Amino acid sequence: MRSENVATTSVSKDRFTMWPTALACCFPMILIILWSGPFDLAFLGVPVLFITWTCSAMLAFGMAIFSVSARQWWRAVSMSVLPLATLGVIANAGIVWSLAMETGERIHFQAMRRSYLEDVSKLPSSGEPRFAIWHWGGFGIGHAVVYDESDEIVSPEQSSAWKKRVANTEVGSCGAWGSPLGNHFYLIRTGC
């Protein structure tokens, strides 16, 4: 009877642990959430997230090694999920970073869209296409949303009237690149 208790205890320790899988899913989502807020939130929050992510992956890796040595195979497999997912993210860091930033900023834009439309409705109608920029912040590279009624910001060649209209903005002085958001709005980066 005693040997049955030992076997039961050993089997109960060898079970699939959910927290590494949950963290492997949550960390990328948290990265997107950080980018969906104000730039300062991402600037301060992303390093904290990366430190937490790295420490969690290292802890799970250590526990996976211990589980292998204890022949707890289910636990070893479940503990390996987070370190392997983290390695996958590191191997594709450029893609993951760009995707998280773009997705988060698109969420931010959708949350602020009504406010931007109100601001656009208040712009004077001088007969020329209207242009407005909302700065989100940045460090080295500026992040912003632009409303360009002429849609020339994405044209390979801009007219002299457009260049004059944007001359006193970061778009005119530093250049800009980005992607359309629809209805004359653009998610942009500026080089200064």
pLDDT at 3 > cutoff 70: no
Residue 97 lies in a domain: no
Distance of CA 91 to the CA centre of its chain: 16
Cβ–Cβ under 8 Å, residues 162 and 152? yes
pLDDT at 9 > cutoff 60: no
Q: Which of 61, 91, 121 is the last residue of a domain?
A: 91
pLDDT at 6 > cutoff 80: no
| String of DSSP letters for 106-129 | HHHHHHHHHHHHHHHHTS---SSP
Q: Which of 39, 57, 91 is the last residue of a domain?
A: 91
Residue 98 lies in a domain: no
Residue 149 lies in a domain: yes
**The total number of structural domains that make up the chain:** 2
Instruction: Say whether both 144 and 64 belong to one domain.
Output: no
Lowest mean pLDDT among 37-46, 80-89, 94-103, 172-181: 172-181
Q: Which of 68, 91, 114 is the last residue of a domain?
A: 91
Reported as a single tens digit per residue, the pLDDT across 133-192 is 999 988 888 899 999 999 999 888 889 998 898 888 888 888 888 899 999 999 999 887
pLDDT value of residue 181: 96
Instruction: Say whether both 87 and 112 belong to one domain.
Output: no
pLDDT at 84 > cutoff 90: yes
pLDDT at 43 > cutoff 70: yes
Lowest mean pLDDT among 62-71, 88-97, 158-167: 158-167
Instruction: Say whether both 9 and 87 belong to one domain.
Output: yes
Cβ–Cβ under 8 Å, residues 189 and 142? yes
Claim: this prediction has a pTM higher than 0.95:
no
Instruction: Say whether both 57 and 115 belong to one domain.
Output: no
Which domain, by its residues, includes 140? Answer: 104-190
Residue 99 lies in a domain: no
Residue 96 lies in a domain: no
